[in-house]
Amino acid sequence: MSRIPLPYNPKVLELFKNPKNLGKMEDATVAAVAGNPSCGDMITFYLKINDQDVIERASFESYGCAANIATSSIVTEMIKGMKLEDAWKISWKAVAEEVGGLPSVKFHCGILAVGALKRAIRKYYKNKGVSPGWLQEELSFEEKQALEEEELAKVLAKRMKLEEEK
């Protein structure tokens, strides 16, 4: 059986081959992880945030497919120089549009990238012991989806282990 490659557009392929802001940031103000390597996609976002709550720099590490790397890369480009409140408003759909579109089976990559960003923002304020009025207490759609994907990966890993033990 032959495999048909996913129809990635040129921008996704370029960001996959030459990702922007790839790598661990040693002096990050905050870092957050979303995903699970057992399901194939995992992202760590690193943010350097100044005293005015502006993202000065952003980088990421990724274990995942072309769409995972491309969406993570574009998020780091989109948020540079943004106030955290504005970065919080970024949606996975905006990320998908920014990369020129994604195959529907890869929408979760944009969701995961934004979920990691929002986790980092939430963690930053938790570490500071403050909660700005705009930061909703309830998890965002992207955070919920990232959590759901992580839980599903745990269930699948347990099932696979049980199958191996048979």
What is the C-alpha separation between 142 and 146, in angstroms, rounded?
6
Catalytic residue, candidates 14, 33, 38, 39: 39
Take residue 67 and report the two structure tokens written for it.
């769409």
Q: How far apart are CA 32 and CA 59, in angstroms?
A: 11
Q: Which residues pair with 47 in a beta bridge?
A: 30, 58
Whether 109 is catalytic is: yes
Q: Which of 34, 47, 109, 153 is catalytic?
A: 109
Phi-psi region of 37 (alpha: psi -120 to 50; beta: other; left: phi over 0): alpha
Contacts of 86 (CB under 8 A, 6+ apart): none
Of 95, 86, 91, residue with least CA distance to 52: 86
Tokens of 113: 């990238």
Q: Is 39 a catalytic residue?
A: yes
Could you list the active site residues? 39, 109
